[in-house]
Amino acid sequence: MDNGASSYRRFLEGDKDGLAEIIRDYKDGLTLYLYRFTNNISIAEELMEDTFVKLYTKKPKFSGRSSFKTWLYAIGRNLALNSLRRRRWISDVPLDECYSISDGQDLEADYIKKEQNFMIQRVLMKLKSEYRQVLYLIYSEGFSHDEVARIMRKSKRQIGNLVYRAKNSLRSELEKEGFRYEEL
């Protein structure tokens, strides 16, 4: 059973804790997804908040044709696209400021892993927005191709083609940067 859907149903019936549960469960992942649109963590957080404000004020109907998470991310995506249409956002938060320093025991291995992740994130930002979105939704959020198709308003076949092109583009960009796969 989809916990988000049951929490939303409870919220619609008047239980304010239902919305609090939804926010707690989905705010981080939604913020990271919206960051892919804006390249600015502050703006992504504002859009995440706007998504939950829309749930609170408009109380849109959840039909259940997809998972609750898919439906919620689609709302966030639509708000982000509308916001980007109204304004032209410029990224003013460097990507490396979004990472925290860990206190792991093997500092060298942690450092190397972070550098690899940083390189991958930097290269991802060079890709087309659609490529970044589809790779993030599938590999970071674990959505199926069907769910990504609903979120991005494309057919399953289009998503399959998009994933293929995105992976090839990512591989090409990583090779230009000198990234070696055996190090992963």
The full set of domains in the chain, from first to last, is 3-86 (1.10.1740.10), 102-183 (1.10.10.10)
pLDDT at residue number 183:
42
- Per-residue pLDDT at 62 exceeds 90: yes
The mean per-residue pLDDT over the stretch 12-26 comes to 94
The mean per-residue pLDDT over the stretch 55-79 comes to 94
pLDDT at residue number 105:
52
Of 134 and 38, the structure prediction assigns the larger pLDDT to: 134
The mean per-residue pLDDT over the stretch 125-151 comes to 91
The pLDDT confidence band at residue 55, using thresholds 50, 70 and 90, is very high
pLDDT at residue number 54:
95
Helix axes 3-12, 68-86, angle to 10 degrees: 70
Write down the pTM of the prediction. Answer: 0.62
- Per-residue pLDDT at 31 exceeds 80: yes
Q: Give the span between the Cα atoms of 89 and 127, in whole angstroms.
A: 17
The pLDDT confidence band at residue 163, using thresholds 50, 70 and 90, is very high
pLDDT at residue number 103:
46
The predicted-structure confidence for 103-125, as pLDDT tens digits, reads as follows: 445 666 776 777 777 777 888 88
pLDDT at residue number 166:
93
| 55-75: burial string, b at 16+ Cβ within 10 Å, e else | beeeeeebeeebbbbbbbbbb
What average pLDDT is seen over the chain?
Answer: 84
The pLDDT confidence band at residue 2, using thresholds 50, 70 and 90, is low
Q: What percent of the chain has pLDDT over 70?
A: 84
